Amino acid sequence: MKRNGILNADISRVLSYMGHTDTICIGDCGLPIPEEVERIDLALKFGEPKFIDVLEEVLKDMKVEKIVLAEEIRDQNPEQLEAIRNLFERYEKGFDAIEFVPHAELKRQTLDCRAVIRSGETTPYSNIILQSGCIFA
């Protein structure tokens, strides 16, 4: 039995297989997930688990060099954007590699992700694509 880290076997497996520049998405409960992309569904009920809690656990286990967010988050969910920035300041000091794209483009980019983790989040535009960094460079 694992002693530390993410207990969800699917998330742990996907993170273990990821290489430099591979991507994974964490989404709210409404984000459409393409059929050809692995779905890791954590949604229990509306609001649980929270997007930010899932993101925090993934950040503890993954080196991130860049993130992609929907530009709509700036106006439609600034509290979530602030929470994301605070997490990255804690886990990736000085991190500033944020790309904002239209929500439609973010949804298109999920096609290239290794997996999409579905949270129970119900606040708008609580979706993020994480690009894997290199831990030994």
User: Residues 9, 20, 30, 134: which is the catalytic one?
Assistant: 20
Q: Is the pLDDT of residue 137 over 70?
A: no
Closest CA to 101 of 73, 63, 69, 58: 69
Which domains, and CATH codes, for the chain?
Answer: 21-132 (3.40.1650.10)
pLDDT per residue over 58-101, tens digit each? 999 999 999 999 999 999 999 999 999 999 999 888 888 999 99
3-class DSSP assignment, residue 114: coil
Residues tagged in the binding site annotation: 28, 103, 125-127
Active site residue 20: yes
Residues tagged in the binding site annotation for substrate: 28, 103, 125-127
pLDDT at 9: 97
Query: What is the chain's length?
Result: 137
- 129: β partners: 25, 68
pTM (2 d.p.): 0.96
Distance between CA atoms of residues 94 and 65, nearest Å:
11
3-class DSSP assignment, residue 92: coil
